Structure 1
Amino acid sequence: MSNSNEEAGEAVPASQRGSWTAFIKAIASFSGDLSSLTAPPFILSPISLTEFPAYWAERPELFSAIADAKNAESRMLAVLKWFISTLKGQYTSRNDQMGSEKKPLNPVLGELFYGHWPDRNGRGETRLLVEQVSHHPPITAYMITNKAKKLALQGHSAQKTSFSAGSIIVKQLGHAILNVELPDGSKEQYLITLPRLRIDGIWYGSPYIELTDTSYIQSSSGWLSTIEYKGKGYFSGKTHSFKAVVTGPNSTSTKHTIEGQWHTTSKMSGVPFHDVQGPKEEVTVATAEEQTEWESRKLWNLVAKGIREGDYELASREKSKIENEQRQRRKDELAAGAPWQLKHFVHASNDPDYERLAKMCKVQPTTEDCYVYQGNGPA
């Protein structure tokens, strides 16, 4: 760490070094959830967390291909390929675009994000609906559908962050369930759990993400994918490495093994399995002028402008204005005895599908808030 100041000087704008130093000291001494800390504007992303579910469908041809698989085994491989191909966008694309990982904007309660990927080559239109369903703790719920292919992905996500050995550790809470309607009218479901994250490079003001531990994809048909994530020095000896083991119903014998790097390529039995180095397809979104006041890009327009243009005073001022308005709104709701009403989701005490699928893959179901899509809205 002897060269940290020099390296930080290259990554941190001169006007922001004082606030960055104070932020690092706060992280190192903080014992609670780090997401409650206010980060210096230069380390902020110009997009809100409500936009993140779009990463699930930025390769819509792989999402739609799940419906075209002919049997349970091939569908599991299609789901696995699609899932692995979403990871680059979720966890490294901002490094490529901005030079390092940035902290996304914390959504406000009720914030909305809508988008779609148009039908091309018979793949059907894929639609996205996202709503911030809780602010404390922050929880984002989403629904992604392709009606032509009879696919529906519903999930919610939250994060708990802590500091350990110079890294920020992010435990991703939540899960997603993919529903696939088969030609005979029956339904297959897939539980998708989320990996943990380790954010390194924070001492130098240049954070980057590595995935850790294990996540699972459990099908109601009995097929299971167990995905282990490791960084440099394990498996291939390269960053962003993973190894996925696919087993059949009522079996512990490995049927397929896929290894490689989730941000580039992987192979199954020596044959190429996935390659995400080509262009992805950005979600189509209405312009900020066409959006309502609760939609992300309208809500955070001036904050994002300040971040992108390096006008940190503008970004900080507008961000504080939004946060102060939200705090006042919560006080007014409490005083009136009228809590905020969600638009697209309802809170549920339990999720039977999650509990059933989690038990199938021997994952201990966690006690967490559940949100169910009400069936209204663009999705």
Structure 2
Amino acid sequence: MSLTIAPVKCEEKRDEQQHKSAWFQFMKSVATFRGDLTSLTAPPFLLAPRSIVEYSTYWSEHPRLLVSPAKEECPKRRALLVLQWFLSTLKHQHASRDENGKRKKMKPLNPFLGEIFLGKWVDDAGTTHLITEQVSHHPPATAYRIWNDAHGVRLEGHVSPKAYFSSTINIERQGYSILHIDKYNEDHWITMPKVHVEGIVTLQIAPELSGVSHIHSSSGYTTCINYSSKGWLKGKSNSFTAAIYPDNDESHPLFTLEGRWSDSYTIKDGKGKLLETVNLGSLRRTPLEVAPVESQHPLESRRAWKPVVDAINANDIFTTGHEKGKIENAQRALRKMERDAGKTWVRRYFSQVEEDPIAEKLAVKSKNSTSDGPGRMIWKFDEEKYKRIMENQHNGIKSPTRSRFDSGVGFLEIEEV
């Protein structure tokens, strides 16, 4: 009997060793860095083939859940449906593996100022639209608008992530979202939990949620969600508990939820009676539709980053770094030209405002979260800008032809040495 020994793929083994070495060098720089880690440049092999502006798509992977509160007459049941929709947005957003079981890469691409992402979902809930724009680069901030006209539901918000190192990589997401339901003229103010990264030493990277987030309804109901992870001796990863209660009456919850945001959870009434068990894994995701890359606006994410994404998918580290550097250098040149001319970048779909009365009214002040308040930078969807763009498209008026300058992609030709 002969024994066949599988050949060792030397190149793969060498690449793995190089990646490990680069990873630990990166973590060494992270551990000694003082400031926001989002400004650090990650090794190319850690980069995910998508930009942060695409993360707003997680809000509406299940449009039927997003619009379901519009069909509910009872305000406390609407609060429960809003919470259930919110929980459905967490699994794939923070999962360490994709739908095919492949481990995700850790670091999404940092969006450039003015980068946009447009898409829609079409299913039995009708058409749900999405517009996302990178409205600030320093500090980074992404604004988004998701709406479904058939059900009179719209979600609007902005998020400004800040990363720091304390035993591991931690991410705080300042900002908030507001879900509005036309039928009841009702608003739900929403914040996001903190994220910390587990598995750094073993390279089994897994995001985990922690702390507290809130949903506060203008109808008079507050939702408090507490997140926890697996401890040394007990507990499970991706765990949460949540309670919905009348404002200022936390001791008398109307509903309590408990389970894992990556798996399943139970819903009980205020007396502890089991009402339902929800299996998040059984939820069917509606495919997102986007325009073909070749017909996208130069500012759209997938068109602008295509050379970088192609290189990442080809596992071509050199080209990844080279193409990424071209965009970043072009952006620096563009910002310098604006400063020299005394101009600032005009946002395409959003505008900065001084105050947000709805957020001021509904914000839950919490000692455990830095993202609960309205925040220093408030970005709102600008209906006038949107209407003007739509009218121009209807009339066949195209965007400025100086597309390479507009996007900062390819604007600065880099000479080869």
Q: In structure 2, what is the Cα distance between the partners aligned to 1:189 and 1:236?
A: 38
Q: 263-272 vs 353-362, which deviates more? A: 353-362
Listed as ranges, the gaps of 5+ residues in structure 1 are 1-8
> Which amino acid is 2:152 matched to?
K
CA contact (8 A) 1:225 1:244 kept: yes
CA contact (8 A) 2:96 2:104 kept: no
Q: 1:371 aligns with which of 379, 383, 404?
A: 379
Identity %: 37
SS at match of 2:76: helix
Give the number of equivalent residue pairs: 365
> Which amino acid is 1:176 matched to?
S
Q: In structure 1, what is the Cα distance between the partners aligned to 2:151 and 2:75?
A: 16
Q: In structure 2, what is the Cα distance between the partners aligned to 1:241 and 1:356?
A: 30
Q: 1:243 aligns with which of 241, 244, 259?
A: 241
Answer yes or no: is 1:256 the counterpart of 2:248: no
How far the C-alpha of 1:11 sits from its partner, in A, is 12
Q: 1:30 aligns with which of 33, 48, 60?
A: 33
Answer yes or no: is 1:210 the counterpart of 2:212: no
- Aligned twin of 1:199: 197
Q: For residues 41 and 247 of structure 1, do their structure 2 counterparts lie closer, same or farther at Cα, with a shift above 3 Å needed?
A: same
Q: For residues 246 and 371 of structure 1, do their structure 2 counterparts lie closer, same or farther at Cα, with a shift above 3 Å needed?
A: same
Answer yes or no: is 1:353 the counterpart of 2:372: no
Root-mean-square deviation (CA, aligned residues, Å) is 2.3
Answer yes or no: is 1:52 the counterpart of 2:51: no
CA contact (8 A) 2:241 2:258 kept: yes
Listed as ranges, the gaps of 5+ residues in structure 2 are 1-11, 269-273, 391-417
Q: 280-289 vs 25-34, which deviates more? A: 280-289
How far the C-alpha of 1:101 sits from its partner, in A, is 4.8
Q: In structure 2, what is the Cα distance between the partners aligned to 1:276 and 1:12?
A: 37
Alignment of 1:193-342 (within 5 A): 193-233=191-231, 237-252=235-250, 253-269=252-268, 270-278=274-282, 279-342=284-347
How far the C-alpha of 1:237 sits from its partner, in A, is 2.1
How far the C-alpha of 1:255 sits from its partner, in A, is 1.1
Q: For residues 330 and 41 of structure 1, do their structure 2 counterparts lie closer, same or farther at Cα, with a shift above 3 Å needed?
A: same
Q: In structure 1, what is the Cα distance between the partners aligned to 2:110 and 2:341?
A: 25
Answer yes or no: is 1:169 the counterpart of 2:170: yes
> Which amino acid is 2:144 matched to?
Y
> Which amino acid is 1:202 matched to?
I
How far the C-alpha of 1:205 sits from its partner, in A, is 3.3
How far the C-alpha of 1:77 sits from its partner, in A, is 0.7
Answer yes or no: is 1:62 the counterpart of 2:65: yes
SS at match of 1:202: coil
Q: For residues 268 and 101 of structure 1, do their structure 2 counterparts lie closer, same or farther at Cα, with a shift above 3 Å needed?
A: farther
Q: Name which one, 1 or 2, has greater alpha-carbon Rg.
A: 2
CA contact (8 A) 1:92 1:101 kept: no
Q: In structure 2, what is the Cα distance between the partners aligned to 1:231 and 1:110?
A: 36
> Which amino acid is 1:226 matched to?
C
CA contact (8 A) 1:224 1:247 kept: yes
Q: For residues 89 and 64 of structure 1, do their structure 2 counterparts lie closer, same or farther at Cα, with a shift above 3 Å needed?
A: same
Q: For residues 212 and 361 of structure 1, do their structure 2 counterparts lie closer, same or farther at Cα, with a shift above 3 Å needed?
A: closer
> Which amino acid is 1:230 matched to?
S
> Which amino acid is 1:195 matched to?
P
Q: In structure 1, what is the Cα distance between the partners aligned to 2:13 and 2:63?
A: 38
Q: In structure 2, what is the Cα distance between the partners aligned to 1:172 and 1:42?
A: 25
Answer yes or no: is 1:126 the counterpart of 2:144: no
How far the C-alpha of 1:66 sits from its partner, in A, is 1.6
How far the C-alpha of 1:258 sits from its partner, in A, is 0.4
- Aligned twin of 2:83: 80
Q: 340-349 vs 19-28, which deviates more? A: 19-28
Q: For residues 234 and 148 of structure 1, do their structure 2 counterparts lie closer, same or farther at Cα, with a shift above 3 Å needed?
A: farther
SS at match of 2:288: coil
Q: For residues 149 and 93 of structure 1, do their structure 2 counterparts lie closer, same or farther at Cα, with a shift above 3 Å needed?
A: farther
Q: 2:108 aligns with which of 104, 111, 122?
A: 104
Q: 334-343 vs 263-272, which deviates more? A: 263-272
How far the C-alpha of 1:133 sits from its partner, in A, is 0.2
> Which amino acid is 2:263 matched to?
T
> Which amino acid is 1:113 matched to?
F
Q: For residues 11 and 99 of structure 1, do their structure 2 counterparts lie closer, same or farther at Cα, with a shift above 3 Å needed?
A: farther
- Aligned twin of 1:4: none
Q: Residue deviations 1:177-213, cap 9 Å, x none?
A: 011112xxx4100000110001112233332100000
> Which amino acid is 2:150 matched to?
A
Q: TM-score, normalised by structure 1?
A: 0.91
Q: Residue deviations 1:154-182, cap 9 Å, x none?
A: 000011111112x1111111100011112
